[in-house]
Structure 1
Amino acid sequence: MRRRGIALAAVAAMTLTGTLAGCASGTSGTSAESGGAVKVGVVTSTSGLVAAYGKQFTEGFKAGLNYATKGTGEAGGTKIEVTYHDDASDPSKATATATDLIGKGYKIITGSVSSGVATQLAPLADQNKILFISGAAAADTITGVNDHTFRSGRQTWQDVKAAESFLGTVKGKTVMVFAQDYAFGKANVAAVEAVLGKAGGATVKPVLVPLKTTDFTPFARQVIDAKPDLLFVAWAGDTAANMWRTLAQQKVFDSTKVVTGLADRATFDTFGPAAGKINFLAHYFAEATDNEPAKAMAKELGTKPDIFHTDGFTAAQMVVRAVEQGDDTAKMIKGLEGWSFTGPKGGMTVRPEDHALLQPMFLAGLEGTTPTLNGVLPPEKVAPPVSGAK
């Protein structure tokens, strides 16, 4: 099976977000060689700029593994042996760590919250015939990249399609992207142009703000003058509170519908008085669902789950499903392709053609710092186009 990735830029998780060949072959790490266990390496960011996301993934994974194995740590009579490793969001460090683990007989790698890391580990997994389950990394190019790569989180296309729902239809409408003038902001512009522009028929106009900007008034006035039907805000960093305050002062909310992503709970207070006027698309927040996996995750964590706890929990469910098929990677892949299951977000399906994880997305509001569920978009409503084919 050959697949090609859709060339969409990744929306970084905080919005809303030559490889080295291992020395081991895909036949390493069998039950006999590892003492009746399948070795799983969680390689994620527990230091660096997105350490909070890696921490959430790890906590969610542990909760999901306990849930999916009913506390036994085994699947299909096989012990799941897990070790945890920090990649510091450094692709080189992640590649070196994964290469070492593959050489030691690990059959499954999971955990990446950085798209830069995930896009390096995916070909490494394919070269060595092991399973790679990417975590919160949102890059669309991860979907369909090869037979051995899956994902436990959402992807950029699903984020932007959720934003589209606030207009009903975007064909013939004007969508303005308000973002910072560097790679992160430009990636958001590219994603909106691809999903809402090229695929949706909207006119997309960027407003890119220099990183060192402290006075956002001139940029807010550009929005007022353009009168877009939708303003898609993609922002990160400590200027967020000032930016939102300026948009409110300039009465941007009176002239256009404003949409942004609901990120981790630590960011909820940055919206200030503007919070009640913003339309939020959401990957996950604790108040969105109350199904059995969501309750189990919350109980295991002992606190309200955050945005990327669900990606770790889902990854563990996928690991257990894979190990239940035995220690042969080809059988693991077959067992995951087309699999439908219930995760903390709700019903999910691994699309067999390209391993996209079809899943619901949420529409939310904020009352102060408390999120409210305003709508649920079913998986088919936000499904990305098939990337490649069998």
Structure 2
Amino acid sequence: MRRSVVLSAAVAGVAALFTAACSSPGSSTASGDKEIEVALITSTSGPLASYGEQYLQGFEAGLDHATDGTGRVDGIKISLLKDDDGGDPAKGVSLAKQRIGQGVPIIAGTAASGVATQMAPVAAQNKTLYISGPAATDALTGVNRYTFRSGRQTYQDVMTAKNILGDSKGKKVVVLAQDNAFGQANAAAVKSVLGTGGTTVSPVLAPPSATDLTPVASKVKAAEPDMVFVAWAGDTAQSMWSTLDQQGVLDAATVVTGLDIRASYPVFGKARDKVTLLAHYVPEATRTPEAQAMRAYFGKKKWQEDLFTPDGFNAAQMVVEAVKAGGADGDTDAMVKALEGFSFSGIKGANTVRAGDHALLQPTFQAKFTTAGAPEVSRTFDAEQVAPAEKQIG
């Protein structure tokens, strides 16, 4: 069963690229089992390549766990098609359309918010199930009935910060971020959550390509904030923290930031003891059955769990649940209904897909660095404490 792809006039000329014959979602394997294909589209190159690799490793472990090591559910083999979007929205959209044109009924992945926000409308236009990955932008929640998420969103980060900081009434808050979809979403979320009751929130957004961050740090300090919320991703993090420290920002205000991947731990340098950490996940900190299963699988592969391992693991669990409902033919409506309200235990703990807008309700953490340089959990916030405001599905 091949799916027709909805194409705008601007891309109709390349439609022929998507008409190559391919096995249908309900095709049979050599062993006679039915098969369904899942396209994993995420960054394995570009600035977020490490995020994508963590996601893919988590997905592999999650699929192994959710199918009892068989890669099959209800006699249906789940085959994975992996594509690298390189963090490029145009490439991500092109890959999504290509896979949809080949009859693939489920797309999962994407580490970059800019890619995810462009792929979500494609999923809706073509009635394809889309389960986003580490992309954190709030814009994905409630965007359409076909789009879900397997990771956290920016609003949950900010709610974690709010719980950490307590009363911020009357304070001046500066959001330091890059001027891209991720940074803009963080600025908007902080203003939405903290910018009430007399609290002033102002963004300082740096060009994503900037390497000299002294002007940005100086602008932050000149604002004389009580608190600085730092949302930063990519290769310039070490330079950013060093510059903030050199410019005295870390000593002049309370600085809150999200815990990043393992490779980023050393980049804090002297800032390590001067920041308050909010954490989507702290590697090795949870003891759920899923966490134990993931570690056993990773041990065999000689992999190391990291910040976005749970996102991939969650996605695999959601895919398996969807396939149970939609069958080998990939009945999209049945898959959507199955995921709406789906509650399941993940690496981090209890997860629930909120039926009304597809937000993934999940626990988050406050963390601090130990003297050995690894983070440890100091507080856990349950899903209700950090739940984003509910939206209406677009």
TM-score class, shorter-chain normalisation, is 0.7 to 0.9
> Any unmatched runs of 5+ in structure 2?
1-7
Amino acid at match of 1:31: G
Distance 1:180 1:94, change over 3 A: closer
1:183, 1:101 → 2: CA distance? 25
Q: Which residue of 1 aligns with 2:4?
A: none
Which has the larger displacement, 345-354 or 185-194?
A: 185-194
CA contact (8 A) 2:357 2:391 kept: yes
Match of 2:378, SS?
Answer: strand
Q: Which residue of 1 aligns with 2:385?
A: 381
2:243, 2:85 → 1: CA distance? 37
Alpha-carbon displacement from aligned partner over 1:73-105 (angstroms, at most 9, x marks no partner): 111222212211111122222222222222222
Distance 1:237 1:149, change over 3 A: closer
1:91, 1:179 → 2: CA distance? 20
Which has the larger displacement, 339-348 or 239-248?
A: 239-248
Q: Which residue of 1 aligns with 2:173?
A: 175
1:20, 1:172 → 2: CA distance? 51
The structure, 1 or 2, with the larger RCO (C-alpha pairs under 8 Å, 6+ apart) is: 1
Alpha-carbon displacement from aligned partner over 1:115-144 (angstroms, at most 9, x marks no partner): 122122212222222211011111111111
Which has the larger displacement, 160-169 or 136-145?
A: 160-169
| Residue of 357, 361, 364 corresponding to 2:364 | 361
CA contact (8 A) 1:220 1:250 kept: no
Shift of 1:342: 0.6
TM-score with structure 2 length normalisation?
0.84
CA contact (8 A) 2:259 2:278 kept: yes
Q: Aligned pairs, how many?
A: 366
1:31, 1:385 → 2: CA distance? 38
Which has the larger displacement, 304-313 or 88-97?
A: 88-97
| Residue of 67, 78, 98 corresponding to 1:80 | 78
1:182, 1:389 → 2: CA distance? 24
Pairing of 1:7-156 with structure 2 (within 5 A): 29-31=24-26, 36-156=34-154
Amino acid at match of 2:318: M
Verify: 1:290 aligned to 2:293, yes or no.
no
Q: Which residue of 2 aligns with 1:309?
A: 309
1:55, 1:312 → 2: CA distance? 9
CA contact (8 A) 1:29 1:107 kept: no
CA contact (8 A) 2:137 2:181 kept: no
Match of 2:194, SS?
Answer: helix
Match of 1:89, SS?
Answer: coil
CA contact (8 A) 1:209 1:219 kept: no
1:183, 1:357 → 2: CA distance? 20
Verify: 1:340 aligned to 2:364, yes or no.
no
CA contact (8 A) 2:137 2:185 kept: no
Alpha-carbon displacement from aligned partner over 1:339-359 (angstroms, at most 9, x marks no partner): 110111110000000111001
Amino acid at match of 1:162: T
Distance 1:163 1:81, change over 3 A: same
CA contact (8 A) 1:140 1:156 kept: yes
